[in-house]
Each structure stands twice: as structure tokens, then as C-alpha cells.
């Protein structure tokens, strides 16, 4: 059985935020990591961090919501690193607060494009190779919003809920091929876009978490590392919510 050091992991949207931490963790685990983003400079920065830590990585710029770009991305990864064995579906876009009365179908399509469209395009692009090798790991990054629904985010909640259904359907169909499909559902994890949040907002969130702290990107990366590992070979169709106990009834 090949080790992690002989496998390739593609993390979509990994040039910053949660994806960056996931890519760096998989690099430490020994995978050759394909760092993906829309901007070359950001992706190269993450690649250098992985290499500085002794890992293997390369940067691949591409829009994973565009079918032609996805095909080019996967071809480039195969040529430079090898066929993709682990796919982490992390790419995301803006998630604006929009009152229900103002939420149109175009707003739903914008969210579905990232959280259903991108996983379908990227998953299909790597699927033939995983089936041929009889081994694969697909990990979705969804969100706690499917369980703790926020106000004015109906399009985002609907798309994330659809992503969970997609994960389970793929898991059932791909299990006989040695391919597992699972999901990690983060609670609130501060990243760059949250830098301007008021201290009282953060304090209110912490007060709602039994663990008494806000989660870190590394908390999410640990879970992805498990789902990508040999140790998770008999785990598929599962969703691990990482929220410090906030979702416990």
C-alpha cells in the first residue's frame, strides 16, 4: 500500500485561510500538495511554507468553478506532481448577508456554484484516476450553518446543505471502488476576512462554545488529515462537525 509520501493531495482554495492550514498539514503528513488559488503570489507563498517545513508542494492557479479551468488544473497537477489521490474541497466565495425578501435565484446560484458546482467539476476530473487505482480520498469542507442556521444567509445555508447531500451520495456510490468521501463541518474559525470583527462579537461567540475558545484552522486541518489517511479506510459518508461542542443539543 503506497504511503502518504507517494500520494498527491489537491486542496482547492488553499492559498489562504483554512485551505492554507489544511495544505500545510497534509504537507507535513508527507503528501505532495497541489496548492490552488486564484492568485499566483498567494499560492506560491503557501508552497514555500510547505517546502521550508521539508514538504513537497507546487502552486496551481485556477478557478475551480470553471469546467475548462478545472480540466487544465488537474492535467497540470498530473504532469508536475502525479495523479490526484486526495481531493479536499475547500474553495469558497463571498457569503453576504441578504434578507430573504431580497434573495433571488441568482444569489442561490452564486452559492451553489462554489459548494456544489465546484465539487462536482473537480471530483469528476479526478474520479477516473482514483477508480483505476482503487484508492481515493475526497473531503468536503462544509459549515456548521446547516445545523445552526444564521439569519439572512438562506442561499448559503441551502448550498452548504446540498453539499452535504452530495457528499453522502458520492460516498455510497464510490465505496466499492476504494474511494471514501467525508465532510468536515467547521464552526466559526477566524481567518483573514474576520480581522475586523468587534471584540464583543467574538466574546459572545466564545460564550456559546462549551470548550470555551474559538476554533483554529489547525483544528480543521487535523480532521482532514484523519479522513485523508489510511486509518480512515473504513470511514465514508460521515460528517465531523468541529465546533467545540456548540452544536450539542
Task: Tell me 237's DSSP state.
Answer: S
Q: Can you read off the three cell numbers belonging to residue 209?
A: 462554545
Q: Own/partner pairs for 95-102, CB < 8 Å, 24+ apart?
A: 95/153, 95/156, 97/151, 97/152, 97/153, 98/152, 98/153, 98/154, 98/155, 99/152, 100/152, 100/154
Q: Strand pairing partners for 11?
A: 35, 88
Q: Name the active-site residue from 60, 156, 170, 188.
A: 156
What order do you get walking across the sheet with 8-11 strand by strand?
56-61, 32-37, 8-11, 86-89, 136-141, 179-186, 239-242
Known catalytic membership, residue 31: no
CA distance linking residue 53 with residue 67, whole number of Å: 33
Q: What 3-state class would DSSP assign to 37?
A: strand
Catalytic residues: 156
Amino acid at each position: 500500500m503506497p504511503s502518504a509520501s507517494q500520494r498527491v493531495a489537491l486542496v482547492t482554495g488553499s492559498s489562504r485561510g483554512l485551505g492554507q492550514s489544511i495544505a500545510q498539514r497534509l504537507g507535513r503528513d508527507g503528501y505532495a500538495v497541489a496548492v490552488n488559488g486564484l492568485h499566483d503570489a498567494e499560492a506560491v507563498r503557501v508552497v514555500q511554507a510547505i517546502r521550508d517545513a521539508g514538504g513537497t508542494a507546487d502552486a496551481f492557479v485556477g478557478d475551480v468553478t470553471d469546467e475548462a479551468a478545472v480540466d487544465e488544473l488537474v492535467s497540470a497537477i498530473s504532469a508536475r506532481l502525479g495523479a490526484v489521490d486526495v481531493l479536499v474541497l475547500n474553495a469558497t466565495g463571498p457569503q453576504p448577508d441578504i434578507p430573504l425578501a431580497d434573495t433571488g435565484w441568482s444569489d442561490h446560484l452564486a452559492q451553489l456554484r462554489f459548494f456544489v458546482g465546484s465539487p462536482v467539476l473537480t471530483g469528476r476530473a479526478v474520479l477516473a484516476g482514483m477508480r483505476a487505482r482503487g484508492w481515493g480520498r475526497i473531503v468536503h469542507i462544509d459549515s456548521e450553518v446547516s445545523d445552526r442556521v444564521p439569519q439572512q444567509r438562506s442561499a448559503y445555508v441551502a448550498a452548504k446543505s446540498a453539499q452535504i447531500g452530495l457528499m453522502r451520495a458520492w460516498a455510497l456510490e464510490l465505496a466499492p471502488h476504494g474511494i471514501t468521501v467525508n465532510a468536515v463541518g467547521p464552526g466559526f474559525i477566524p481567518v483573514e476576512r474576520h480581522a475586523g470583527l468587534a471584540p464583543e462579537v467574538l466574546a459572545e461567540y466564545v460564550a456559546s462554545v462549551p470548550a470555551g475558545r474559538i476554533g483554529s484552522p489547525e483544528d480543521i486541518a487535523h480532521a482532514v488529515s484523519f479522513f485523508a489517511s489510511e486509518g480512515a479506510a473504513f470511514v465514508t459518508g460521515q460528517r465531523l462537525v468541529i465546533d467545540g461542542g456548540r452544536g450539542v443539543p
